[in-house]
Structure 1
């Protein structure tokens, strides 16, 4: 039987291994507000100030990180996405947690229990009931509403992610509400690019309806997207986001693009070359639009999705069957960025990588298009998805340091659907400070706390504040 052991590792100096790291974190990093410039929180839940009934609803529902771990530990699907009640599902997660030692979930789980609920017990079978009861009581109180869960973590800006067909009604409601945290959005037009996917024509019909026009050609598709970009801009949006396997680059004439569009509308099969031509043209059009609006464009590259076809048929997308892909990235990415830059249409750009084998390539790639016009114009984004843990964060920071300027980096984001994920920023900041502190101790960096501390403040907050200029939008 497991014991009710107290946490003995989430201490004040968790992940901080010397005095320099401790000072950098406590005196410089920890005090900084959070700018969470990319996440998947529900704007409806924020606007309604939703209150969760229990920890399963707040913490486990929709979290495919936890679901994958539970499956690996032999937990039946009934206790993951199935018919079990919330208490049973929590018990399934609690039974899994001791098996997650050395997985980042072990750190995140106990960090979140401590930061949000002041719980020092290690989560396991024996503590599950007590923790479930205590957290459920707290969550059902107004003090743990969605808005308070964000605000209590010293969050200044949250940027959610919406499709072009979204009305943004919840963002509009929040803008008028007086809520102290600025809730922004980003424009995610992936569905408009997925011309070979089932349901594409239905999506275009919805996009046309909300745009007030019939989409009958490639040109009218571009017109509709331009109208939605203008609408998002009017509602404070200053970012776009794309989740792609890779950025294609195959040029095509206007006639070819219209022919490809017509084939798609007739639901005829398209070749890989036709899909790449269509997506190349649309990405170039969108990139030009983003630049014209002064937006930041983001590209999340390299996920291999829906690998388990049986489970995908049963449960659908985003249920834990995705992994790291090994797509060729460098050549077509370079051509895409260069095509925009050639006409001075390249917006501020963040590139996120899912395959660590491509870290140095992307860190070097951004240097090709930093033209001196904007500090840190091109960004190698923080460790994403499978890489947002200590090892992945360290590798990303090292690659960026070796190939570019770490001091210009805009730092961490949650990329999460969970309102309990803000300690991820703390986790990142501790890893960053420990890397710098260890190098100070080794004599590889000067023992100049103000110098190194300023860089820490910049990475944790100031660079993002300057890069996105959310304050100016809010005013």
Structure 2
């Protein structure tokens, strides 16, 4: 018996109609992910399924560690085949974790495998999938086209040359790949030595001698202009929380000079530096008509021993319980006071704060742009059925679901795009159940159009990737 059936997650006939007739065939705009641009531009061919599926996937790594599997088979020296077999050993134990659904949905959609992955068939599936990965339909571009990906935005540091985005623009990939500006390292002054090196590299890239904070801002503005010319229309920021101070609480020039001299800042000085730098950047985004994204609430790098061994982004981050509302309100208000608040997406990692985030977003809609302030899709640990349903319900109850720009992968894997299908099935199921209960009128064409908007059209118009945004100075 198949596990992933045609009507997977669709509990009513109405949900099935909404999904198959309205949502299923919509193209994908994946406006936030961590895919490597070089592998897209070069149309990389993967050697085996471990390379495309397990390398860099800290969701799977955490599951394997929880099962007691040695790090050798996770990030270590074991062969790719042996690593996959350990993953096959893990999968049956992930029941009720989203990894179980994602694993089998991805095997089915990319490789036509509708068996449940177990230790018994692990080797056979490894060989079959690795063989399939050698044909053109399973190159990076082939995998993306299989899932009807129209456009994707990678996540790129301001120092990035964007050479792969620029080269991709000279050839017809069949998919649009655009950069997104991620300046986290530019204000990470808690690590003074790293920031000193960053400043030096920024000076080299821009040709600007950076001896003052104003020079630093000028160099960052230079990179924003460069990204805009390369097609970028988004920025992104990963922070514990948004900070707020009255400007002038600290002298920013004095703080910057301390950084240049390699002197450590006090905790409040660190927060102030982040606040003022981010404030300047956000005003620049507004000038260019960009969308700014804030991923808030992660408590990162909790395990110092493993951090020193494996480095960051290896599966040792968790949900934080930071205070968000007051400083977020004041930061957004500071930008809004001068009408310099760009289109904004707020992503929340703590499920206790859904209502805080969605009502905060509603404070700063001003009627100028449909859905200007967005409560972003369920993120990271909340990117599963329960988390997505809570995000959708909170947005529906306290905001406007109809203006939502929808799903994204936030992934490092080229096999993760069925998550859009997963989201769309859930969305259709929610509407189907509401119609069955009499909570929503049985106007299938109207509801179907709303589902299509959330799946695709809202993002298409909101991000303005066609280049209609105002450019600085125009």
Map of 2:359 onto structure 1: 364
Q: In the aligned structure 2, how far is the partner of 1:473 from the partner of 1:387? A: 33
- 2:421 counterpart of 1:423: no
The correspondence of residues 203-352 of structure 1 with structure 2, limited to 5 A, is 203-253=198-248, 256-352=251-347
Give the SS at the match of 1:236: coil
Give the SS at the match of 1:91: helix
The question of whether the paired residues in 2 share the 8 Å contact of 1:33 and 1:154 is answered with yes
Q: In the aligned structure 2, how far is the partner of 1:243 from the partner of 1:269? A: 22
Structure 1 stretch displaced more, 105-114 or 25-34: 25-34
Aligned to 1:163, which of 144, 148, 157? 157
Aligned to 2:166, which of 158, 167, 172? 172
Map of 2:10 onto structure 1: 16
* TM-score, normalised via structure 2 length: 0.97
Root-mean-square deviation (Å): 1.2
What is the CA-CA distance between 1:254 and the residue it aligns to? 9.2
Give the SS at the match of 1:231: helix
Deviations 1:278-307 (CA, angstroms, capped at 9, x unpaired): 111111100100000000000000100010
Q: In the aligned structure 1, how far is the partner of 2:22 from the partner of 2:440? A: 17
Structure 1 stretch displaced more, 424-433 or 140-149: 140-149
Deviations 1:341-400 (CA, angstroms, capped at 9, x unpaired): 000000000000000111111000011000000000000000011111101100100110
Map of 1:433 onto structure 2: 428
The question of whether the paired residues in 1 share the 8 Å contact of 2:154 and 2:180 is answered with yes
Aligned to 2:90, which of 81, 91, 96? 96
- 2:51 counterpart of 1:57: yes
Aligned to 1:443, which of 400, 414, 438? 438
Aligned to 1:41, which of 35, 57, 63? 35
The question of whether the paired residues in 2 share the 8 Å contact of 1:157 and 1:181 is answered with yes
Structure 1 stretch displaced more, 265-274 or 453-462: 265-274
The question of whether the paired residues in 2 share the 8 Å contact of 1:30 and 1:426 is answered with yes
Which segments of structure 1 move beyond 6 Å, counting only runs of 4 or more?
A: none
Give the SS at the match of 2:466: helix
What is the CA-CA distance between 1:142 and the residue it aligns to? 2.1
The question of whether the paired residues in 1 share the 8 Å contact of 2:30 and 2:149 is answered with yes
- 2:20 counterpart of 1:26: yes
Deviations 1:203-234 (CA, angstroms, capped at 9, x unpaired): 11111110111221211110000000000011
For structure 2, list consecutive stretches of 5 or more residues without a partner in the other structure: 470-474
Map of 1:461 onto structure 2: 456
> Against the structure 1 CA distance between its residues 254 and 302, is the aligned structure 2 distance closer, same or farther, given a 3 Å change threshold?
closer
* TM-score, normalised via structure 1 length: 0.97
Q: Give the paired residue count.
A: 468
